[in-house]
Amino acid sequence: MKIEIITNCLDLLTGFEHLTNNEKKDCFSSVIDTLGSYPKPQKKTDIQRAKTYQIASYLFVSTARNYCKLSIENFIKLDTGINVIQYNLESALSILTDNQNEPQAVK
């Protein structure tokens, strides 16, 4: 599910450089909406701490979402924002794919 959310966001960003500024902002809004379903690495009621890679991927996703918001509000140039957003999403994706075959603990 996490990998699918990230790949959906990367798909939304395809062809970003060909969009108008308003379309770029709409694109970032779509990415924010999509990332809204990305789960936190751990619930407050969880007894066991989240794995480091889960926390790292969540932080990369969170950073991408924040850069989307900052770019929409013109605190960061759209063309600068896209580079940081893509880097963070690709980093999160890489972490998750590298660790997806990790054995699951028996509950």
The neighbour count for residue 8, using CB atoms within 10 Å, is: 14
Residue 107 has pLDDT above 70, yes or no: no
Q: Positive or negative, the Cα torsion across 35, 7, 88, 20?
A: negative
pLDDT digits (tens, 9 = 90+) for 12-23: 999 999 999 999
pTM of the prediction?
A: 0.88
Please report whether residue 44 resides in a domain.
Answer: no
Query: In angstroms, rounded to a whole number, what is the distance separating the alpha carbons of residues 23 and 6?
Result: 20
Residue 102 — very low, low, confident or very high, per pLDDT cuts 50/70/90?
Answer: low
Please report whether residue 54 resides in a domain.
Answer: yes
The total domain count for the chain is 1
What domain range includes position 89?
2-39+49-99
Residue 106 has pLDDT above 50, yes or no: no
Residue 29 has pLDDT above 60, yes or no: yes
